[in-house]
Amino acid sequence: MPYRRTRGIVTDSPSSDPGVEADVIMTAAALGLATSHIKGGVPLRFDMDPRDKDKDWNSFEATVKRLHTAAAGYLGRTSRLPTGTIEAGFAPLHRQGAVIVGVYHMAGQEPPPSVAELVLSPKGEALYEEIRNERLPQYVGRGAYTGFVDNRNTVGDTDPVGPLSTVRFLAPDLDVSHESPMAPQHPRWLPPDQSPRWNPRLRRNTRDSYVPWGLIAGDKATKEPSAGIPNPTNAENEADQVTGLMRSQGMVFEGEPTPSDIVGYTHGMIQAIYKAYHLGPNTTPYEITVGTQTTKLASCLTCSLFMVALGYPPTSIHLGRGESWMPLFEPYSSHARSEQDERAVIRDLNNSWQAKCDEWLALGLEVLDQAATTDDHRPAIAAVRKYLDANTRDKSVPSVLILDAVTIHESETTRIDRTLLSS
């Protein structure tokens, strides 16, 4: 059996609610990341889109305050006085060709004085211009960021890498994962056939055709195509319409999913980090905004966890959506240099990411345990803890729970608001 087919992500009873469990998992992840920062005296800022300021600032600031109150309360009780704060702020303004930088702290590099003053190598500059002006094939639709690695190495491989657009993959199947040491050992979660989670995925005008798990907009299958966006494939429902649109806007789909598959999306920055790590310390991974439909110049929480775990903290973190986020489990690139080397890099980086997910989720749950949480989320906090306690020998489990949680598509802000009481 390649998947966990339980009613909840970590429980299997008639009252299991995977949505509530996903809320707890992702709130714990955000709290773990934030608490570990301020514990060490390093402030952490979560950013919103400055263009939403008038509409959303007050509620966003309140969400971040919930995180701060919970984390600071926990650190106060455990007699470690917080020396950093968790703050709300604004992401840098989005514009065509703006970048998110991952800076390799371990190599002693500092963030550039301003991300607006991009200083690239000559070859990097040329490639950046090609990407920014969309002269190379890449995804340019909703949420389009393109990964890019500038390379200042003077010996060996000195070429920059890009464009690295978000790619849709099938989650690795455990039946074959023994041949693929990078795949997580713990099975992924796929809702059972009778789960109500499948209801919005039943394609309009069909009796038994379901949109596979993980697909972006997959829960819009019962809806008519939206009049507000193009429908290049003449799809009969909004879920298939969005998939067709993403393909027409240049997203690469690796493999065609069936309802017994899970799909995930690997963002450009993540691909760029594997490449940067592979090429050595004189490289910088970037994510460049392309197209006109991307609104936030900030990294999603799931990317941020990966970036911080690997020592490339992002310029800015948002608390929006990381729908069906996934790292790489196999070498992927049209710039493959050495597949064997790439496998080793993926294995090492994924191991580091798994170890940090383990640390952050455990810490976040401890914080949650003592925090003012909503009554309807308390049983799920205990259930996630119990699940982790029962699986301590498998270090992939916390990271797998995060991957599972983000297959339930929701903004992290909403999940945090549903889990933590306002302070």
The residue ranges that bind Zn ion (CB under 5 A) are: 267, 300, 303
Cis omega (within 30 of 0) for bond into 163:
yes
Least distance CB 388 / Zn ion (angstroms): 24
Q: Which is nearer to Zn ion, 66 or 296 (CB)?
A: 296
The answer to whether residues 115 and 141 touch, using CB atoms and an 8 Å cutoff, is: no
The answer to whether residues 139 and 166 touch, using CB atoms and an 8 Å cutoff, is: yes
The pairing of strands 283-289 and 99-101 is: antiparallel
Least distance CB 98 / Zn ion (angstroms): 15
Least distance CB 153 / Zn ion (angstroms): 26
Q: Which is nearer to Zn ion, 269 or 380 (CB)?
A: 269
Q: Which two tokens stand for residue 379?
A: 């049983």
Q: Which is nearer to Zn ion, 307 or 380 (CB)?
A: 307
Q: Which is nearer to Zn ion, 132 or 296 (CB)?
A: 296
Length of the chain: 423
**In this structure, is the dihedral angle defined by the CA atoms of residues 7, 12, 14 and 18, taken in order, positive or negative?**
negative
Output phi, psi for 311, to 5 deg. Answer: 85, 15
d(C-alpha 191, C-alpha 407), whole Å: 10
Q: Which is nearer to Zn ion, 368 or 416 (CB)?
A: 416
Least distance CB 22 / Zn ion (angstroms): 17
Q: Which is nearer to Zn ion, 221 or 303 (CB)?
A: 303
d(C-alpha 407, C-alpha 282), whole Å: 35
d(C-alpha 134, C-alpha 138), whole Å: 7
Least distance CB 73 / Zn ion (angstroms): 29
The C-alpha torsion from 350 through 352 and 355 to 356, rounded to 10°, is -110
* Helix, strand, coil percentages for the chain (3-state, nearest 5): 40, 15, 45
Q: Which is nearer to Zn ion, 267 or 418 (CB)?
A: 267
Least distance CB 299 / Zn ion (angstroms): 5
d(C-alpha 166, C-alpha 420), whole Å: 32
Q: Which two tokens stand for residue 407?
A: 């297959």
Task: Give residue number: closest CB to Zn ion.
Answer: 303
Least distance CB 381 / Zn ion (angstroms): 26
